Chain A
């Protein structure tokens, strides 16, 4: 079933274009009447909660606005301030660091897990178990690990120490961000693994069978068959999780009883702090604006790579 869904859009689009002209005209008359009804709710929602706030956000970013008074136009001054704000650059930097650690570890482990499941078992119970951390709110995940890694009372911390592995700590400048990143890796790896697994299920089984007949081992089959054929899905998952990863907020917001230390004061938190602790809504909007541009560029680059990997396969 899933495989069908995955593949059909292209073919369906083709059948869709083959309308007999007479009916198309008949439909045309009808649709002008019906379209507003179908589109209206989504369009209203889009206009009020996407378009209007986008315009307003750009406007805020050009003002001195405290949320308590009226916005006061100040031109590009927020952006000028931004360029010289070490805290802003720091938050951008640590967020990028988080994204790299999180995405790399999550993708690698998820790939491995998916490959193991793919070659060993179809168990739904196993898959459902791996999915649980993804279903749990990040707030709960953050609390759970703040507790497990507490320097005095945390169980995992005790365990790591008794194994001679100090390290994970939310307050060491070296380890704080990797610790946070690994917490979210824990939360999202199962989910990512299931996405990869779904992709692997679409790889024709006979490829593996004939490779086995040729005497290929599992590792070789993974490298020669699984990885290349999974590339489009791999790329797609990367795009989606990368954008999502930049939005880390909940986890650090609960792990740190005070505000996060500079090593983990991610961009979302900094925006939140500027807007709601310091009443600098205008400045916060300017930071958000920069984030839009950064993410836009990243998406663009990634989509280019994605397209490249697709044509590679064809």
Chain B
């Protein structure tokens, strides 16, 4: 490419813009960590400084349930017992179970819609696709009533029930992918006497690792961020996930001043697993977006 001075200046400006984007993206996280390391008594005096003057880990100790109610109150909390480690574990179970089970069951269904021949297949698939248009809130209200009727409120079973077996999107997405796999391979397997299940399990699944991971990761992220459903169905301590815990933590703040330092410590803990995921799976995750975007 030709490098004129103008183009060079242009590239310089472009780089500056990218750096700005990175700063705008990252700064709020820095500020979150910075606040979580500040004693709550310093909030007013320290509001504008980039570094806490009296750094402390008390806020983390508080949200991990390692202090007494008295110390918690003294440090700006409400004295309620909280344990973000437990909620993180719940979040991991919630998103893990949903992601793994849903991907698996949707792969089965997607395969059936792509490959198997049975009466009513296309009509059924059409109904599944139509369900893509229904906003979640519409089914959320009756699903809440259903889970309540089944006495599954505040259980993991009730929490994962609506999404553990399928979502129309995952079925749709995986079916589209399976359609794109050449049939020759499977046909060779049929000649070898493999049945449908072993074709699916031995051949199609291993060939589809990319899209399966994509759907799995997307579902994990979605479940990790989920708030309204677990708020309604799993508020109790034993099933409380991170997002709900943060919401409840906010609600249980002292009346006159939200426990901002504690909240930021809790927020930091809710971001940490995501960062770990990104460090180990960053490349995969970034690449997986290419699939979902194109569908």
Contact = CB atoms under 8 A, between A and B. Distances in A.
> Do chains A and B directly touch (beta carbons under 8 Å) in the complex?
yes
B122 to A, nearest CB: 13
Contacts of B163: 49
Contacts of B44: 153
A144 B109 CA distance: 40
Interface stretch (A83-91, A97-105, A164-172, A284-292): A284-292
B258 interface: yes
A19 B145 CA distance: 47
Interface of B: 1-2, 7, 10-11, 14-15, 17-18, 21-22, 24-26, 28-29, 31-32, 35, 43-44, 47-48, 105-106, 108-109, 111-112, 116-119, 121, 124, 127-128, 131, 133-139, 141-143, 145-146, 161-166, 168, 171, 176-177, 179-183, 187, 190, 195-197, 200, 210-211, 221, 224-225, 227-228, 232, 242-243, 246-247, 250, 258, 260, 263-264, 267, 270-271, 274-275, 277-278, 282-283, 285-287, 289-295
- 5 interchain residue pairs of minimum CB distance: A45-B165, A42-B109, A53-B142, A2-B290, A12-B180
14 contacts: A2-B290, A5-B290, A15-B183, A28-B117, A34-B196, A41-B105, A44-B165, A45-B105, A67-B145, A128-B282, A132-B26, A138-B243, A236-B293, A285-B141
Nearest to A237: B293
Chain B binding surface, main DSSP class? helix
Contact of B137 (A23, A24, A288): A288
Chain A binding surface, main DSSP class? helix
Contacts of A79: none
A272 interface: yes
Interface of A: 1-2, 5-6, 8-9, 11-13, 15-16, 19, 23-24, 26-28, 30-32, 34-35, 37-39, 41-46, 48-50, 52-54, 56-57, 60, 67, 112-113, 116-117, 119-121, 124-140, 143-145, 147-148, 152-153, 155, 158, 186, 190-191, 194-196, 198-199, 201, 209, 212, 217-218, 233, 236-237, 243, 246-247, 249-250, 253-254, 257, 268, 271-272, 275-276, 281, 284-285, 288-289, 291-292, 295-296, 299
